[in-house]
Each structure stands twice: as structure tokens, then as C-alpha cells.
Amino acid sequence: MAEERKRRSSRKSGVDLEMLGLEVGNKPPQALDVEEAVIGALLIEPNCVDEAMEELTPACFYDEKHRMIFQAMTALVNEHTSIDLLTVTQKLKSQGNLELVGGPVVLARLSQKVGAAAHVEYYIRILKQKCIQRELITASYDILKNAYDETVNVDDLIDISQTRIFAAIQNNVKRDVQEIGSVINQAMADIERLQDSDGLSGVPSGFQALDTITLGWQPSDLIILAARPSMGKTAFVLNIARNAAVDYHMPVAFFSLEMPAIQLAKRMMVSETGLSADKIKGGHRLEQYEWIQLESKLKNLSKAPLYIDDTPGLPVMEFRSKVKRLVKQKGVRLVVVDYLQLMQGPADLRGMREQEVAAISRTLKATAKEMNVPIIALSQLSRNAVQRPGSNGRPQLSDLRESGSIEQDADMVIFIHRMDYQGLSDNPDDAGKTKVIIAKHRNGEIADIDMLFRASEVRFVDMSDTLLSQAESGTFSSGMNDDVPFGPPQAFPGDSPEFGGNTDFM
């Protein structure tokens, strides 16, 4: 009976490690003598208890009897009761497990391992190592079994596989605490490094008014950029990605779940060249001088370290893996996700939308922190803002769709608010005027920033930008790459081509 119970308990996700070991001709990784030494140390040395409880879980013990004993010890600690031979015996008895572990005789024998306490830290590392090995074996067997199952969707298989492997590692790896002195030394070195960085400690957005408040997008931050549909969210983050990659030569990864890469490229080409959106889309023929303009203006953009992934319905764990690879191989400094609600959460949460979005949000924040890069994730807003009585349509944090955890996990929440687009202003002077609202800023101030959205170029500019006055005076140039003047053959050499008014790229 005891053996059968042991066999049942060693199954995880339908895998019997004992049987699996026999199938492959090996025993599952284990160290029974070390398990005995750790339990013995806990029985005789109270100073070992805190370290063991912090580092170990019942799953770290392969033998079912040892696992029962450790569970009894954990229960005693939670009850603020000291651990010794008598208390553990009584707890096992109350749980009905005393006879299953072999009775008081077994506990007495374990307590006689006098020398174990001196090496308990080393023994704990061994048990954690064996536990990770067993969990990886279990996860691998599950992956192998699902891979042979023709009914399992390939996308689900990839998602499940990544989740299982990540969980096996993450659950057993903990960071040590750091002394304040060493942290201060790191902070001093960072401050010294930033002295020559124009006051920016993060990745520049390219918008002076925004960078003044944020000091750039900070490493490990999750930034949520939210707005109602067609407000220009994608245009805004494309501007940010372009500025970081082209102007500051910082590698940027752009995950587009909504639009194919070629459409994103065409949007950027409109902003970069100043040509009509209709001509870039192919609706009108390009003149010869415009082809020359197109090729010249795109030189810097085509060489920029900007990486686009347009996988639709990207599973969040696949996203995590891709970000890790891009950071390690390409040195990516900024990650953009367009947009959060189109990602797929863990397979076991499908159908529970709020929990799925919460899991996606947590994973984005964990990825930003682990890889030490800022992640900008776009998000949709509910209709509450425009339907709120007596409101000017100004969005609030409670308008974030589908999960309150988005607001909770984010280090910064930014809204794009355009009254003219929502029909809330009849003043023609308000056309394109935009409020970029920093509604949450964990490490800085909140503020409203005035910007202008130039629909014909699919880009935002600072209100104080000299480009605005140039446009009003009729001498506007793209500002992206203005070293070469272009115009039709009969035009004056300094003239710039007229911009189209098409706004389909929003």
C-alpha cells in the first residue's frame, strides 16, 4: 500500500517518474542519503530550519516518507511551533502519516545524524539540483507525449512546452539578498556613467517634452500605452521605435500582432520620406525624382537596428523566448508590443479572459525585469471614457480593458487623447492637437504633454518643435533626414514636395 502511494505521489502531470526511469533504463535523479541528512539536521539543529524552509519545498524530496516528514515540519513552522523529535512525531500522528513513514523509530534514527547540520547548506543545494533535474525530466516527457499526439495543436504544443520548461527552472531559482553597501556602489557607478548622457538614463523617445519627464524609457519598466481605436497608438510607438533605432542607434524589437511587417514599413516610409501615403501604398505612380527621394531618405532607416516580428496571436511564452534571444544576440534595448490584448496567454487559462490578460501582463513585467529592458505594450481602452456623463472623453486608469492587473503591473501608463478625432471639439485649430497623458508613473511625476499629430506624415511632433512653424510657413521638410533637398524637376531646388492628406495609416 505504501509503495502504491509512493508511486502515485511521484506522478506529476500524469508522469510516473519511477516507471519513466525504468523505461529509459535509469533511476530518476535522487539523493536519499542527503534527504536523510537534511531531515536529521532539522530535527536536531533549530538554526537550520529557516534556511531550509526558504530554499526547499516538499517536491525537493524524492522519497515519499521524507516528503511527509518535511510537510509536517513545514506545518509546524507555519504554526510557529519549534521543530524537534516530539513535535514532528505528534504532527505526523495528527496527520495520519506516522505509521506510513515508519513510526517514531525512523525519526529517532534520522535525528542521530549528528554531523549533518554542519553541511546543511551544501545538502540543500544538492536537493534543489536533483529536484530541477526531475522536473525537467517530467516536463520533457510531457512534451514528448504531446508531440506524438496528433490532436494537439502545434501552437498549443509550443506554448505548453515553453511554459513547462520555464516553470521547472523558475520555481527552483531564487536570487540571494544583497547588502545595501554593494547596491549603493552599483548605484554610484550608474550615476557616474550617466553624467555624459545628456540627462537621459534610459532609451530616448525622441520627444523632448516626454524625455524631460521620463528621462528616457527606463530599463525593466513596463510601459502601457493606451487609447481608443484609431487614435494613433501604432503611429506613436513607430515614431518612438524609429527615433531610438535611427537617431540613437539603439536596437529595438517591434512585435506587431495586428499588422504585417510590410504595412509597418510603409507607415515608416511615409514618415521618413515625406511622400504621400497614397503613393507609398501604390495608389498613385511615383515620379522619377520621388524614386530618388525615396531611395535617399530611406538609407538610414534601412540600416537601423530595428527588428520586426509580425507573428499573429503570439503566445506570451514564445514572446518571452524571442525577447531573450534578441537581447542576447542583437543587444536589443527597447521592446514594443502592438498590442497586448492580441497575445495568447497560458493554454490552461484560455476562455478565462480576465485571468489570461492578467497572466500576459505579469509575464511582460517579469520579462522586462529579467532582461533589464523597457517594454512598451499597447492596450485598448473601453468605451467608458467617451460614454462618461459630463466628460470631455479624457481617459482614466479604470478604462483599461479586460483586467485591472494591467494598471497594477505597469510602471507607467500613458494615454493618447485627441478631442478633435472623437468629435469633442469643433474648433478647426484643434485639428491634430494631442494630449499625451502620463496617468501613472511609478518613478516620477504624472503630467499632460501637448503634441501635434500630423496625419499626412503619420507621426507626432512636439508642439515646440520648429517643424511646426516650418509647416505653417510652407517650408516644411520631413525633419527625419533633411540633408538632401528634393522636388519636381521644374521646382526651385530648395522646395519640398507637397505632402498628401491621406490618413489611412492611422
Verify whether residue 258 is a known catalytic residue: yes
Calculate helix-pair angle for 64-78, 85-95, nearest 10 degrees.
100
Give, to the nearest 10 degrees, the angle between helix 17-24 and helix 120-148: 70
Neighbours of 103 (CB within 10 A): 13
Helix (H, G, I), strand (E, B) or coil at 373: coil
Give the DSSP H or E segment for 440. strand 433-441
Largest interatomic CA distance in the chain: 103
State the Rg of the chain over Cα. Answer: 30
What does the buried/exposed string (b/e) look like for 12-28 if buried means 16 or more CB atoms within 10 Å of the residue's CB?
beebbbbebbeeeeeeb
C-alpha neighbours within 13 Å on the C-beta side of residue 327 = 20
Q: What are the angstrom distances between the C-alpha of 344 and each of 312, 319, 407, 428?
A: 10, 10, 19, 42
- What span, in angstroms and rounded, lies between the C-alpha atoms of 156 and 166? 15
Given a contact cutoff of 8 angstroms between Cβ atoms, the answer to whether 496 and 475 are in contact is: yes
Q: Report which of 424, 416, 471, 420 is spatially closest to residue 448, judged by C-alpha positions.
A: 416
Q: How many residues can be counted in the chain? A: 506
How, if at all, do strands 412-417 and 334-338 pair?
Answer: unpaired
d(CA 232, CA 457) in angstroms, rounded, equals 12
Q: Is residue 389 within 8 Å of residue 362, measured between CB atoms?
A: no
Cα→Cα distances 272→101, 280, 406, 472, Å: 73, 11, 33, 19
Tell me the three state secondary structure of residue 222.
strand
Of the residues 51, 55, 258, 498, only one is catalytic, namely: 258
> Which residues on adjacent β-strands are paired with residue 254?
308, 336
Q: Which residues are catalytic?
A: 258
